[in-house]
Amino acid sequence: MAAGSNVLALFTDFGTAGPYVGQMCMAVARIAPRIPLIDLLHDAPPFDLHASAHLLAALAGDLRGGDVVVAVVDPGVGSEARLPVAVHADNVWFVGPGNGLFDVVASRAHHADCFQIVWRPERLSASFHGRDLFAPVGACLAVGEPVAMINQPVPANTVDVRGRGKVIYIDRYGNVMTDLRASELSVDARLKIEHRLLPRAVTFANVSVGAPFWYENSSGLVEVAVNQGSAAQMFALEVGDHVSVH
């Protein structure tokens, strides 16, 4: 199985501190030194497969056919309960653990194929498959080198692929992303948080300073914000909390 690539993107819950992202980058660079390597996201909510699966699917809108994503949110690393997989969804490769991380991507694709990765490196640590297995496989796909894989049915979803109004990410400004897609809500829909109903606005400048609202963010998700303030702080929201639609 081979492919060509425009870019190779990394998506993890590792954070930017520490050696892990750099080690993955080195593993990619040894095989694919000429492929642009993009840090798509490294502060996905730790161990949170639902949030990460919805974030990855939202960010996948910027990918093009031939791109490769190596995604590692892998609380079951080293366990035989999850297999290493490569999902080919609308001509984009997603490489990582078969634990539900790619469920939302596959469910929204016009066409998706799933492969079990059977290739193994000479060195495979028990706890860092991102460096030892997923990064090399992604790099090989990026440069068109064959990888030993077995086609298998796309597994039944282990992550809820529908948006439930769950908070999946909070950025440094305190803006609160949810798993809801704005295109599925009416223009006059309001979000209920605690006992307050928030109106929809196009952007921050359409509301007063300090006013809360929701809007369609650049990735198509419903996001709660406060003009020049923190929605997370105002409503004491954390990843995993819920908002409702009215």
Percent of the chain residues topping a pLDDT of 70: 98
Domain count, the chain: 2
pLDDT digits (tens, 9 = 90+) for 129-141: 999 999 999 999 9
- Contacts (Cβ under 8 Å, ≥6 apart) of 184: 163
Could you say which of 152, 186, 221 is where a domain stops? 152
pLDDT higher than 50, residue 69: yes
pLDDT recorded at residue 5: 54
Which has the closest alpha carbon to 212: 193, 198, 233, 232? 198
pLDDT digits (tens, 9 = 90+) for 187-224: 899 999 989 999 999 999 999 999 999 999 999 999 99
Domain of 106, in residue numbers: 8-152
pLDDT higher than 50, residue 82: yes
Asked if the structure places residue 158 within a domain, the reply is no
Asked if the structure places residue 2 within a domain, the reply is no
**How wide is the angle at C-alpha 15 spanned by C-alphas 11 and 18, nearest 5°?**
120
pLDDT recorded at residue 66: 94
Q: What is the mean pLDDT of residues 34-44?
A: 97
Contact in structure between 126 and 78 (CB atoms under 8 Å): yes
Q: What is the mean pLDDT of residues 42-53?
A: 98
Asked if the structure places residue 160 within a domain, the reply is no
Q: Do 144 and 47 sit in the same domain of this protein?
A: yes
Q: What is the mean pLDDT of residues 86-111?
A: 96
Q: Do 233 and 144 sit in the same domain of this protein?
A: no
pLDDT recorded at residue 44: 98
How many Å separate Cα 189 from the centre of its chain? Answer: 26
Q: Do 40 and 140 sit in the same domain of this protein?
A: yes
pLDDT higher than 90, residue 154: no
Q: What is the mean pLDDT of residues 16-25?
A: 95
Q: Do 178 and 136 sit in the same domain of this protein?
A: no
Asked if the structure places residue 85 within a domain, the reply is yes
pLDDT digits (tens, 9 = 90+) for 158-189: 999 999 999 999 999 999 999 999 999 998 99
Rg (CA), the chain: 19
Q: Do 35 and 124 sit in the same domain of this protein?
A: yes
Side-chain-side CA neighbours of 64 within 13 Å: the count stands at 4
Q: What is the CATH number of the domain that holds 208?
A: 2.40.30.90
Could you say which of 126, 152, 178 is where a domain stops? 152
Q: What is the CATH number of the domain that holds 55?
A: 3.40.50.10790
Q: Do 82 and 180 sit in the same domain of this protein?
A: no
If phi > 0 it is left, if psi is from -120 to 50 it is alpha, else beta; for residue 175 that is beta
Asked if the structure places residue 67 within a domain, the reply is yes
Q: Rounded to an integer, what distance in angstroms lies between the CA atom of residue 157 and that of residue 102?
A: 9
pLDDT tier at 2, thresholds 50, 70, 90: very low
pLDDT higher than 80, residue 88: yes
pLDDT tier at 157, thresholds 50, 70, 90: confident
Q: Do 172 and 72 sit in the same domain of this protein?
A: no
pLDDT higher than 70, residue 3: no
Please state the pTM of the whole predicted model.
0.94
Q: Do 71 and 191 sit in the same domain of this protein?
A: no
pLDDT tier at 1, thresholds 50, 70, 90: very low
Q: Do 141 and 25 sit in the same domain of this protein?
A: yes
Could you say which of 152, 181, 200 is where a domain stops? 152
DSSP state at residue 60? G
Q: Do 40 and 132 sit in the same domain of this protein?
A: yes
Q: Do 171 and 147 sit in the same domain of this protein?
A: no
Q: Do 217 and 136 sit in the same domain of this protein?
A: no
Asked if the structure places residue 234 within a domain, the reply is yes
